[in-house]
Amino acid sequence: MGKFDFFLENTADAEEFAAKHKTYSKLKRSELENIPENEIVAAATGWIEGKFDENWSDMCKVVNDLPTPCLNIYFADHVAKEVMSGGFSEAVFNLSNDFLGIAANGFRAIGYEKLGEIVDAAVKAGAASRPSGRSFEDFLEFSESVSFSAQDKDFRRCFDKAKFDRLAKQYIINYSKYFGND
């Protein structure tokens, strides 16, 4: 669960959300099997984010040290949320091609190949047009110069949260030695 995931959750209680996030940061490997499908990704990503400093200043270092199964889940989840909330214009502008590429591999690794293909198509469509700046004006210019409507439509049509959660749970269980504390 990222800093802004509260806004994407179906809970009105910020304190409940924060408490759950804190619990996930202490996730135990032995608990994975008993976590419901609709919470397993949040538990895994919360555990990963629990490794970050409070201000997330060490995010890159922590992420670079993660094993591949953790990267696959973390980035696939992050990109799915980014695309579902703001489309590929936002995702491609905000995230590096490496980040998006790992997400595409993550979707494939859990068995959601079509989403991996769609992410790859969006990266290809936007790669040549990425601005060097990071301002709001740069984002607007980028959004006007590249159309991701086909990729947005395909992703939203194909993405099924319940399916993603089911596939992710099986993947996390299969690679449980990488998720959670002993």
- Enclosing H/E stretch for 122: helix 113-127
- Residue type, position 181, single letter: N
Residue pair 70/44 in contact (Cβ under 8 Å)? The answer is: yes
pLDDT score of 44: 96
Blockwise average pLDDT, block size 10, the chain, 182 residues = 46 65 85 95 94 85 94 96 92 86 97 97 83 80 86 96 97 96 89
**Angstrom distance (rounded) from CA 75 to CA 31:** 22
Closest to 1 (Cα-Cα) out of 50, 35, 38:
50
Q: Cα–Cα–Cα angle for 30, 36, 40, nearest 5°?
A: 70
pLDDT score of 174: 97
pLDDT score of 23: 78
Residue pair 25/46 in contact (Cβ under 8 Å)? The answer is: yes
Predicted TM-score (pTM) of the model is 0.85
Query: Which pair of structure tokens corresponds to residue 168?
Result: 């992710």
